[in-house]
Each structure stands twice: as C-alpha cells, then as structure tokens.
Amino acid sequence: MDALLTDAVKALLTDQCTPAVVRAIEAGQSRAALWKALEASGFADALVPESEGGAGLALADVYPVLELCGSFAVPLPLGETLLARGLLAHAGVSAPKGSVVFGTGQLSSDGRLKCAQVRCGTQADWVLVSCGGLCRLLSAAEAHLEMAGFCLDAQMSWPQTVWDVAQAVPGAHDLVSLQAALYAAQLAGALMTVFSRTLQYANDRQQFGKPIGKFQAIQHQLSVMSEHAFAARMAAQLGLSAAGQVPDRLRVAMAKARTSEAALEVAGLSHAIHGAIGFTREFDLQLFTRRLHAWRQAAGSESYWHDVLGQALLDSTDPLSLDQIRTLTDTVVCFLIKKPHERFSPDHP
C-alpha cells in the first residue's frame, strides 16, 4: 500500500506541482487548476470511510501523502484538507466541498473571533476553528483576511455572530496535535528535498578543478544534513503511527520537536553550501527552506514540544526510569534543551 500510494502521489505532484506552479500561486495567480487535479485524485478523501466515498485508510497510512506535500512544496492545503475531512467524517459531519485549513481562535472584546495565524489561509475555502473547547467549521469567504508571516498565511477574523451559528463538530478534538503531526510530516518531506538538492549541487559545482562535494568540510556538512533529514523522517512517521484518526500527543511531541530542530540545521547548512545563489528568488532552494522555517514554528516549535515531553515526565506519579522514558517516547530518549528566546507556542507563532 505504501509503495503504491507513494508512487501515485509522486506522479501526480511531479506533473501538476512544478516549481513554476508553486511560484505562480505564491504570486497570487489562480489555484483552480492545481486544486482540481488534487481533488480529482481522491487523496483528500483518504481518511474518509469507504461507506462515504473515501478510501477508509488509517492515519498512519496517509504519511506518504503528507510527506510528499512537503517534498514538492505544495502551495495548497492538501494535507490539512485530508486530515480535516477524516476528522469531520468520523465525527458524523459532512465535509464541505473545497479546501479546509485549521485555526486556533480567540473571542475578542470587539465582538470578533480572531485567528492570529492560519497556515495557508489565503488558499482555503473553509477553516476548522478551535476556540474555548469548541470546534466549528467557518467559511473563509466570510472572513476578514490580512497577510501574516509566510506568503500564503493569513490572520483571519469573523463576527462573533458567525461563530455562534456555525456548525459545531461533536467531540473534543486536539487540533494542535493534529496540525503538529501534519507539519512534522511535511517538514520531513521538505528536509529530504533540501538535502537531495544540496547533495546534487555539491556534486555538480566545480571549484579548484573538482566538485565541491569532494572537499572534506563540505562532506561533513552533508553528513550532518543527512543525519537530521533521516532522523526527522523516522520521527515524523512515529508521530502519525496511530491505529485510528487521532495521533498520540506524546508521539506527536517527539515528532514535531525533532523535525523542527532539524529544520534550522538543514536550512542553514544548505544555504552555506549553495552560497549566494541559494538566496536568490530564481533558485528553487528558497521554495523549500522558507517552508522549513514557517513549518518549524507552525503548531509549536521544538521548544514548545520539548516542554510537553518534559512536563509529561514530571507529572508522572511513578519514579522516573528508563522504561518509563521509553514508554513515553517509543524507545527514543530525548535530551530536552530549552531555549527561551526561541520559544514559540501554537497560538502565538
């Protein structure tokens, strides 16, 4: 299943989501053609039960789709829509047509519901908003948008009256953990792409009569990039290794912490190896490294999720032991290093 799904998604994105298409959508051109192709593929309904027209896959099964969204820098919320439709279907709510993104909202004193930063908000048809323990589906067309952070993101707000009458999603849903699992997978994909592109560049770029990849200093940097990229992929897979539709929060914490940590290192090393050309808009590298920095902060940075893991250990009533740490992190011992000046929370990136 993994190989078939991976090949199918890769073939679609290779054909439909080229760097030229990514640039065009980022520049404000129409997303209709790409979204039509993604919708027609059926991947957005992968988690929807077969009885409702979906594929009925488990959360762990869709990892290849989410990773490839990062590998190809998909400028539309395919991953968000896939997860949102699965959540809605299992909550007994009919998913609307179009793309869905996630938002964390707060009711303000001026009578509006505000979401500080909605990832891919400018490209969404619907927003699944969590506020005050409730989860409701709001139309993006009714929102007031302001650009925020990454070029596709937006600050969004609605009149409180819209929130009050919006369709509620039954049950308690941890949207932050779901988003973190998504961004961990997309980070893993972008990390692999940045590493492979940097490796290719190092083998092609000639200096002093030989490829720069032959120099020991560059080889060391590539080796560090490789370690981070493959470790991040393993962590991201663990974050989605749930039997049902809801990821385990501690697995997600480890996955998002590891992938966010890797994003800083790999982005920095890739630009160091590429030199000045890597910073130019015309060069494709920036399409991926900008996403590394944006997704690193999305749904909480490594500092936030390190705190989640550490707090879980401190809150335990049992004596701390190696067995307990293994239970919390699935055999991965995390060394928690807190950097207060780099702290980002899901609500305030």
pLDDT at 319: 60
Total domains in the fold of the chain: 3
Print the domain residue range for 182: 175-342
Share of the chain above pLDDT 70, in %: 90
Q: Are residues 11 and 60 in the same domain?
A: yes
Q: Are residues 86 and 103 in the same domain?
A: no
Mean pLDDT along residues 322-345: 47
CATH of the domain at 188: 1.20.140.10
State the pTM of this model.
0.90
State the pairing for strand pair 126-131/100-107: parallel
Taking the C-alpha atoms of residue 102 and residue 124, their distance in angstroms, rounded to an integer, is 10
Q: How confident is residue 337, by pLDDT bands cut at 50, 70 and 90?
A: very low
CATH of the domain at 149: 2.40.110
Among 107, 141, 172, residue at a domain's last position: 172
Q: Are residues 289 and 148 in the same domain?
A: no
Flag whether pLDDT at 46 surpasses 60.
yes
pLDDT at 28: 93
Give domain status of residue 348, yes or no.
no
**Hey, what are 80's tokens?**
């968000």
Give domain status of residue 347, yes or no.
no
pLDDT at 324: 57
Q: Are residues 118 and 87 in the same domain?
A: no
**Which residue is listed with tokens 């393993």?**
234
pLDDT at 321: 58
Q: Are residues 196 and 70 in the same domain?
A: no
Q: pLDDT per residue over 183-225, tens digit each?
A: 999 999 999 999 999 999 999 999 999 999 999 999 999 999 9
Q: pLDDT per residue over 165-174, tens digit each?
A: 998 998 768 8
Among 152, 172, 192, residue at a domain's last position: 172
Taking the C-alpha atoms of residue 299 and residue 308, their distance in angstroms, rounded to an integer, is 13
Q: Are residues 192 and 244 in the same domain?
A: yes
Q: Are residues 194 and 161 in the same domain?
A: no
pLDDT at 345: 52
The helix or strand, by DSSP H or E, that contains position 69, with its residue range, turns out to be helix 63-71
pLDDT at 314: 83
Give domain status of residue 349, yes or no.
no
Give domain status of residue 148, yes or no.
yes
Taking the C-alpha atoms of residue 286 and residue 283, their distance in angstroms, rounded to an integer, is 7
Give domain status of residue 218, yes or no.
yes
Mean pLDDT along residues 314-323: 67
Q: How confident is residue 349, by pLDDT bands cut at 50, 70 and 90?
A: very low
Q: Are residues 181 and 326 in the same domain?
A: yes
CB 61 within 8 A of CB 46: yes
pLDDT at 343: 40
Give Cβ neighbours of residue 288 (< 8 Å, ≥ 6 apart).
73, 190, 193, 194, 197
Give domain status of residue 161, yes or no.
yes
CB 324 within 8 A of CB 313: yes
Strand order in the sheet with 134-139: 144-147, 154-159, 112-118, 100-107, 126-131, 134-139, 167-168
Q: How many CA atoms lie within 13 A of 12 on its CB side?
A: 22
Q: Are residues 195 and 235 in the same domain?
A: yes
Taking the C-alpha atoms of residue 281 and residue 74, their distance in angstroms, rounded to an integer, is 17
pLDDT at 159: 96
Residue 44 DSSP symbol? G
Give Cβ neighbours of residue 98 (< 8 Å, ≥ 6 apart).
124, 125, 126
Residue 17 DSSP symbol? -
Q: Are residues 131 and 184 in the same domain?
A: no
Q: If we measure between CA atoms, which residue out of 56, 34, 39, 38 comes closest to residue 47?
A: 56
Q: Are residues 21 and 83 in the same domain?
A: yes
Which has more confidence, 172 or 63? 63
Among 61, 91, 121, residue at a domain's last position: 91
Residue 61 DSSP symbol? G
Give domain status of residue 328, yes or no.
yes
Flag whether pLDDT at 346 surpasses 60.
no
Q: Are residues 312 and 187 in the same domain?
A: yes
Q: pLDDT per residue over 73-119, tens digit each?
A: 999 999 999 999 999 999 999 888 999 999 999 999 999 999 998 99
**Which residue is listed with tokens 């929102």?**
143
Flag whether pLDDT at 333 surpasses 50.
no
Q: Give the chain's mean pLDDT.
A: 90
Give domain status of residue 123, yes or no.
yes
